[in-house]
Amino acid sequence: MFTLTEEEYRRRAKPELMKIFLDTNSHAPIFGSNVEKVKLIYKYFPPNLELINALIDSASNLGDSSLYLSIVNIVSTDTSVTKNWEIPFDKISAYLSADIDSSGMAYQLENVIYSPQGKWALLYTFEKYGVLAGCEQFIDDFSRKFPDIDRQILDYLGLFQECINSEGIGRVNTTWLGSFLKTVYGLNKARKLLEKTSLEEYVNIF
C-alpha cells in the first residue's frame, strides 16, 4: 500500500470520494452524484477478509485495480501524519494484515475505502456499522455475494430496541436515527423499518 500526500489526496482521491460521499458524518452522510443505492453493513469491523474479497471482485468488474483508504475523523495540522493511502488489489494483503507500520492509525479511527473511479465507497463507523454506497451495478453485484445484507439493518435496529428495553429510552440516543434512515432508505422504507423493529414510537421521522 502506498501513502498519498495531502496534495495527491486533494488532486486524485478526494474528487472520487466526493462522487459518493459529500460528507462522511456517520450519523448524517450526504451522498454524491454517483450514488444510486445504499446498504448498511452490520456488524462491520475492518479489515474483513470476506467482505474485502467481495468488494474487490465487484470493483474489478467495473475496472478498478486498486482502492483508496482515508481516515475521516482526524483533525491534524501535522503534515507528517499519514491519512490517505492507495492500495492496489494485488497488494491487498498489506491492508488485510492490519499492519500499523503500513497504515498508521487507520484501523483505530473511522475511515472510508473507495473506488478510484468514484463508483463505490464503504464508510466504517465506531458504532460497528458500515455505510456502503455506490452505483447500482456495483451494489447489486456485491449484494449477490451477501444474500442476507438487507437483514443487517434489522439487526442493527434490533440493538436499539434491546437497549431501550434494558436501559430505558432516556439512556439511548435515537435523535439522529430518523434522519439517518430517511437519508439512506427514503421516507417510506425508513418508516417500514421502524415499524418492523417496533421503534416507531421512539424515533421521529418526517
> What's the rounded Cα separation, in Å, for the pair 126 and 52?
18
Q: Same domain, yes or no, for 163 and 185?
A: yes
Q: Same domain, yes or no, for 33 and 84?
A: yes
Q: Same domain, yes or no, for 46 and 127?
A: yes
Q: Same domain, yes or no, for 74 and 141?
A: yes
Nearest to residue 177, comparing CAs of 202, 142, 158?
Answer: 202
> What's the rounded Cα separation, in Å, for the pair 161 and 182?
18
Whether residue 139 is contained in a domain is answered as yes
How many whole angstroms from its chain centre is CA 156?
Answer: 14
Q: How many CB atoms lie within 10 A of CB 60?
A: 11
Whether residue 27 is contained in a domain is answered as yes
Kindly report, residue by residue over 19-44, the tens digit of the pLDDT: 999 999 989 999 999 999 999 999 88
Single out the residue in 125, 147, 169 at which a domain terminates: 147
Q: Which domain holds residue 182?
A: 152-196
Average pLDDT, integer, range 118-124: 97
Q: Same domain, yes or no, for 97 and 174?
A: no
- How distant, in Å, are the alpha carbons of 28, 65, 159, 199 from that of 163? 22, 42, 6, 11
Whether residue 205 is contained in a domain is answered as no
Q: Same domain, yes or no, for 8 and 46?
A: yes
What pTM does this model have? 0.90
Q: Same domain, yes or no, for 95 and 187?
A: no
Whether residue 15 is contained in a domain is answered as yes
Kindly report, residue by residue over 180-193, the tens digit of the pLDDT: 999 999 999 999 99
pLDDT value for 162: 93
Whether residue 156 is contained in a domain is answered as yes
Single out the residue in 114, 131, 147 at which a domain terminates: 147
- Total domains, the chain: 2
Q: Same domain, yes or no, for 186 and 114?
A: no
